Amino acid sequence: MNQAVKPAALAVDPAREAEYRAIRLPEDHPPVKAGRVGVLLMNLGTPEATDYWSMRAYLKEFLSDQRVIETSRWLWWPILNLIILQTRPKKKGRDYDTIWNHEKNEGPLKTITRAQAEQTMAALRDEFGDRISVDWAMRYGKPPVKDALEKLLAEGCDRILLVPLYPQYSAATSATACDKAFEALMQMRWQPSVRVAPPYHDDPVYIDALADSMQASLAKLDFEPDVILTSFHGVPKSYLMKGDPYHCQCAKTSRLLRERMGWSADRWKLTFQSRFGPEEWLQPYTDETVKGLAESGVKKIALVAPGFSADCLETLEELDGENREIFMEHGGEQFAYLPCLNDSTEGMRVIEHIVRRELQGWL
């Protein structure tokens, strides 16, 4: 009677495994690189410059995505091309110019995402050597996802982990980033094995990192906020009604963070920003909440954006700029925007944790 193999007997020495996986080719065989593991960090995107045509190209790619705008194409096409793309690029270009990294001539999202990839690479290379490569890409704009995947393949990565840098899942963010990766895979003769890191909205490492970062930022203020707003990027309410889990995951992140920080529910609010168009979006709206708080007599508030892995236009210009003005103009006295995790020690702790967890069995 056969006996079950004990789990210990299944263990394979890493050196022997590497030897088994080594490719031995005939002398006349075309060059082949394989056996390495790749990690691709993916974020939303940024225009290449702040001028009209650069902004128009970026906005057209972004707003043409059916994951982002689910309105029927026959109705949306004339609105986008004949109205929005005629007026919006100039205005958004001015907004981007206020937060632009003029030293590197790029948006801050690109600067930060690159740094996140470089630090992740350095941390993993210390442990796994040249068995691993880490790169980064943008869903809209440059560097494109397809180019990043092809680069990893050229380096010999036959296993690739896709990491959408969105803590909360939405079809308009995580799914569309993966769509671009899958589109590229469809054109490849030799596809790599692929994993996708799941959303991490309730991961204890993520919640702890947010709390540590917030506490450090609050300690630098010369006032204590009466209210803290956790502001998440909004989506149309109809997306929630169709089954998108984004709203629920944002609410859970906010609740877990409040409990971790030890704040009472009456001093902590969940809001949604960046609505676009006439359709109802997830509520309460950040700008209306900020205005209402100021008008009700609240004098000191702080805003934080836990759904953004890196500071960008929506945090630096919209939250720290527009909403600061709204609060002060309606009776507020002290306002603070608390930065995103970015490539800080806390932020890198989250990314490295997610990557290491999802690479188990590959490294």
What are the binding residues for Fe(2+)? 233, 314
Q: How much of the chain is helix, strand and coil, in % rounded to 5? A: 50, 15, 35
Q: Is the Cβ–Cβ distance between 40 and 160 less than 8 Å?
A: yes
Give the C-alpha separation, 202 to 75, whole Å: 38
Give the C-alpha separation, 271 to 265, whole Å: 13
* Closest residue by Cα to residue 47 from 140, 173, 179: 140
- Amino acid (one-letter) located at 182: F
Q: How far is CA 342 from CA 216, 253, 279, in A?
A: 14, 17, 31
Task: Name the binding residues.
Answer: 233, 314
Residue 94: HSE in the Cβ half-sphere, 13 Å Cα cutoff: 5
The tokens for 227 are 């209210």
**3-state secondary structure at position 310:** coil
Give the C-alpha separation, 161 to 209, whole Å: 22
| Surface-to-core class of residue 152, CB atoms within 10 Å of its CB (0-12 exposed, 13-18 middle, 19+ buried) | buried
